[in-house]
Structure 1
């Protein structure tokens, strides 16, 4: 029998709340999710054409089970010095699902994951999905209000946290932490002290129940697979509600973009909380029976050695990594590997010649999944690819009128199939409607189309900051900086960096009589902000430029460039090393 609290949670769960708020709510009653196994009932197999997985077969449980049966003891997942076969991975995921079931986790609930790269991340993710619950991956660097948001908005029943990150829970608002029923710690509970509250402390091992009935709950393409948080431009990060239909759609496109087969080995040193390593790495490898090797983190000096050691044939990258690898001293390791292609990066003839690797480019977003690509090994130089058949797209001007080929405008898209796109921003109906105005989802990315339908990415909207593969919300940065007691007001904006990315720049106005300097403010922020968000440049001004309606004119600050008295945090670090 469900507890009163469970009943209350289900009655107001994020899944039900979102249905009344998402743009596509009116469509939700037009399609019913069939029972898993529909393909087998028709006389076929869901694995017959995994590149074009039918919408009605897009659910994790049946595919995971089928791969465990068809691939058995072949290697699937490697982390550090341990490899799990397909059969073992299926068993681990179901063990975690049993533990979640024992704690009342089921359809419509959510489970938060606060972990660095580790195998437990994958098994918790899969276990949650087997229970019909959404996995909520959280950036391990999040603290304070940034950690509050995903836990509060998703009403997470529990969190699986790595031992090294337990201290982050002490930064939560008391009312947010009070919403957790349990905390499972990867690495054991020895020495762990939780904040005061009712949450049960258990070890990850205690969450694993190896005996018992199959915990899988039948799910379909409409069910929410994950809530992933993506940075906004003028507001806080938003929870993107991703259904099974979309999660697997992205994986299918990735399979075609790199022509992945069961003989391939994927090497990904990128973070699992990010969609590239998870839904475009771990998941597609499982779908085709390939082997995926997950590194702890990216290392420029070790990348090719690691790839060679694991026998990788496909590598993960982001746009800033190829220039970093090219900057390494040439050596025999440049070609002592089996990688045939790396995804996702711009075409770079110099890189490809030196390392013997083809760079694959595509385009997508957390909200849409992967939608623009080329079937491997096809490509057009400079282009991200062409639109997938399941989508419509146009390049529009500032008034949403379509532009002809060759003209630059914003990419606007919409799906032809149901539930292959986000079902809205969680608890942010206004943002959902704003993004989907005039029945088109507006990506905020600028591009042009050629006569053959190839997309050429041009730029991003100005308020979005892109640093080391992460989208950074200027609102989040300003919230951190504005919390300093001597700051009267501030703005965050991008400053051009190497490889087409941004550094974070902050312009601040201190309160009258304040003795804080930009350098002291930088030190104060280092103890409070996630490292990837820390501003490189902090500049003090007497006042910010404003228009007649008092709105800050960021474009003027961009045009002015850095002031002569701007504090450069990187220059200070370099001086420390050489001093």
Structure 2
């Protein structure tokens, strides 16, 4: 349609089926069976070092062993299982073991504590949780707040708490394992629940069908030209959608993956070389941190030596940042736009296609009908005009089913039978899409979509705080958001004590840089806090923890909460 922003190609579904086979095969468990039959002795996964890879056959045995424990505990199709673990092999085994018994896995961010952790564990109403040994203490600290979990499988050889009237803890060796199910779930059945930003309330649990998780892997393989000869380097939380772009794509391609439990910007290049990585994911804010660390170290302006690394999938990288990354790090950056609910809504054809500066690709017409609409009226906007990105899937089972136990949020996101991403963009005459801004109050920091609600909730637990509003304030072109916390208090505030309070309750990336104590929060006639005014307010009156040398990392180390 001339002058409109819809972008499609003839009969995309036929081509998709021809390339990927019948949708009935769109399941990562089928990919596992293929790998075990054809590549059981090939190296699959290593933690930090390339000297100690687990083969596909060994990995599948770990998965089956844990699946046998879950089966013995009565976990089956329709159930949900919470997983609390870091970026390591145990978390991967747990993920696929839950899927193998037909249940839905709910991997929770290992940095969660306080209210965010309690919400994430309680929302899916899972009766069984799998907890890594390094996360057991944190789980026990909050066990009285968990309302549904009745049995906790603790991985590793560690002491477990005594059972209570409502909850038992056990190690896999204490359970007589049963034969796990051999039934492969349908591609529209739920596979995973991942948490995404809660901008006006708690984080939402995105229910992802098996078809979607498989399609995410296939899309990444196509986009990055991955093969069995590639080694993927992943340092992201396995509670993020990156688990599918990294671990799942490696599985389907038959390649190797190296997991790192932490992201250290100043050591990133060294780790890329040491792991012999050929591909990785590094969101815009992470690239910015890597470049900043390189600059602060006084490194040569010449391109860094990054070993075998040939391609990086980015998201949220500005045109200038991508250019700097290519110039200073020698990276080939591939920019795309997607979200947990719908992966790769826009993308280039593959990593070799040259994309106009600042673009995140063209609409992914093989999977979605993409339109840019006026966020107020849902009327489609014209070429070059800014509108909210909305999508509708062209095939069942390829994007989220719902927000678990949040029907109102599900309906709100699907108004007028189109999924609304909450992100603004424009499209040029050639179909290239350019991300512009966010519709919501979401804060983007260190590759995390942060809920202002969670920050405000933690702040309100501090004595003297009467009202709280958290907003993101721009740090500069192409840079990450900084967080400003605006407070109404009943007396003088000890700023450093407030930061210490927040470090105890929140992940490090949620701790604000600025605290601004105000007489009152600006409100509309309907009494809603006008966060837009807070975002543009002068920072000269705000306390700046960076300026006074207050380090979140040092506080976390002292408190023992890192």
Q: TM-score, normalised by structure 2?
A: 0.88
- 2:210 pairs with 1:232: no
Preserved contact between residue 473 and residue 536 of structure 2 (Cα < 8 Å): no
Q: 1:264 to 1:61 in 2, by over 3 A?
A: same
Instruction: Output the aligned Cα RMSD.
Output: 2.4
For structure 1, the residue ranges without an aligned partner over 5 or more in a row are 1-47
Q: 1:475 to 1:194 in 2, by over 3 A?
A: farther
Preserved contact between residue 102 and residue 181 of structure 2 (Cα < 8 Å): no
Question: How far apart, in 2, do the equivalents of 1:249 and 1:336 lie?
Answer: 29
Q: 1:52 to 1:62 in 2, by over 3 A?
A: closer
Aligned counterpart for 1:110 among listed residues 49, 72, 80: 80
Preserved contact between residue 379 and residue 385 of structure 1 (Cα < 8 Å): no
Deviations along 1:39-91, one digit per CA (max 9) or x if unpaired, are: xxxxxxxxx99963532211222220111111121111111343111111111
Q: 1:90 matched to which residue of 2? A: 60
Note the 1:268-417 alignment, pairs <5 A. Answer: 268-276=234-242, 278-327=243-292, 328=294, 329-330=298-299, 334-345=304-315, 346=317, 348-376=322-350, 377-381=352-356, 382-388=358-364, 389-397=366-374, 398-417=376-395
For structure 2, the residue ranges without an aligned partner over 5 or more in a row are 1-15, 555-562
Q: 1:378 to 1:494 in 2, by over 3 A?
A: same
- 2:240 pairs with 1:262: no
Deviation at 1:432, TM superposition (A): 0.7
- 2:452 pairs with 1:486: no
Question: How far apart, in 2, do the equivalents of 1:549 and 1:269 lie?
Answer: 44
Q: 2:47 matched to which residue of 1? A: 79
Question: How far apart, in 2, do the equivalents of 1:430 and 1:540 lie?
Answer: 34
Q: Which piece of structure 1 moves more, 549-558 or 530-539?
A: 549-558
Deviation at 1:214, TM superposition (A): 4.9
- 2:495 pairs with 1:505: no
- 2:500 pairs with 1:523: yes
Q: 1:233 to 1:454 in 2, by over 3 A?
A: same
Note the 1:531-570 alignment, pairs <5 A. Answer: 531-564=508-541, 566-570=542-546
Question: How far apart, in 2, do the equivalents of 1:468 and 1:526 lie?
Answer: 16
Question: How far apart, in 2, do the equivalents of 1:322 and 1:151 lie?
Answer: 31
Preserved contact between residue 51 and residue 256 of structure 1 (Cα < 8 Å): no
Question: How far apart, in 2, do the equivalents of 1:296 and 1:521 lie?
Answer: 29
Note the 1:419-498 alignment, pairs <5 A. Answer: 419-497=397-475
Preserved contact between residue 518 and residue 540 of structure 1 (Cα < 8 Å): no
Question: How far apart, in 2, do the equivalents of 1:53 and 1:233 lie?
Answer: 38
Preserved contact between residue 266 and residue 281 of structure 1 (Cα < 8 Å): yes
Deviation at 1:207, TM superposition (A): 6.5
Q: 1:293 to 1:472 in 2, by over 3 A?
A: same
Preserved contact between residue 24 and residue 187 of structure 2 (Cα < 8 Å): yes
Question: How far apart, in 1, do the equivalents of 2:465 and 2:191 lie?
Answer: 41
Q: Which piece of structure 1 moves more, 526-535 or 232-241?
A: 526-535
Deviations along 1:171-207, one digit per CA (max 9) or x if unpaired, are: 4363625x323222233223x4468444222235557
Question: How far apart, in 1, do the equivalents of 2:186 and 2:21 lie?
Answer: 13
Q: 2:214 matched to which residue of 1? A: 248
Deviation at 1:336, TM superposition (A): 4.7
Q: 1:80 to 1:204 in 2, by over 3 A?
A: farther
Preserved contact between residue 105 and residue 157 of structure 1 (Cα < 8 Å): no
Deviations along 1:363-414, one digit per CA (max 9) or x if unpaired, are: 1111112221112211312211112212101111121110111111110111
Deviation at 1:333, TM superposition (A): 9.1
Q: Which piece of structure 1 moves more, 110-119 or 213-222?
A: 213-222
Preserved contact between residue 66 and residue 94 of structure 2 (Cα < 8 Å): yes
Q: 1:5 matched to which residue of 2? A: none
Q: Which piece of structure 1 moves more, 77-86 or 65-74?
A: 77-86
Preserved contact between residue 117 and residue 296 of structure 1 (Cα < 8 Å): yes
Deviation at 1:568, TM superposition (A): 1.7
Preserved contact between residue 111 and residue 157 of structure 1 (Cα < 8 Å): yes
Aligned residue for 1:251, secondary structure, equals helix
Deviation at 1:168, TM superposition (A): 1.9
Preserved contact between residue 250 and residue 279 of structure 1 (Cα < 8 Å): yes
Question: How far apart, in 2, do the equivalents of 1:242 and 1:232 lie?
Answer: 17
Q: 2:547 matched to which residue of 1? A: 571
Q: 1:435 to 1:208 in 2, by over 3 A?
A: farther
Preserved contact between residue 305 and residue 333 of structure 1 (Cα < 8 Å): no
Question: How far apart, in 2, do the equivalents of 1:474 and 1:311 lie?
Answer: 38
Deviation at 1:299, TM superposition (A): 1.9
Aligned residue for 2:257, secondary structure, equals strand
Q: 1:151 matched to which residue of 2? A: 121
Preserved contact between residue 261 and residue 288 of structure 1 (Cα < 8 Å): yes
Q: 1:68 matched to which residue of 2? A: 36
Aligned counterpart for 1:187 among listed residues 151, 156, 168: 156
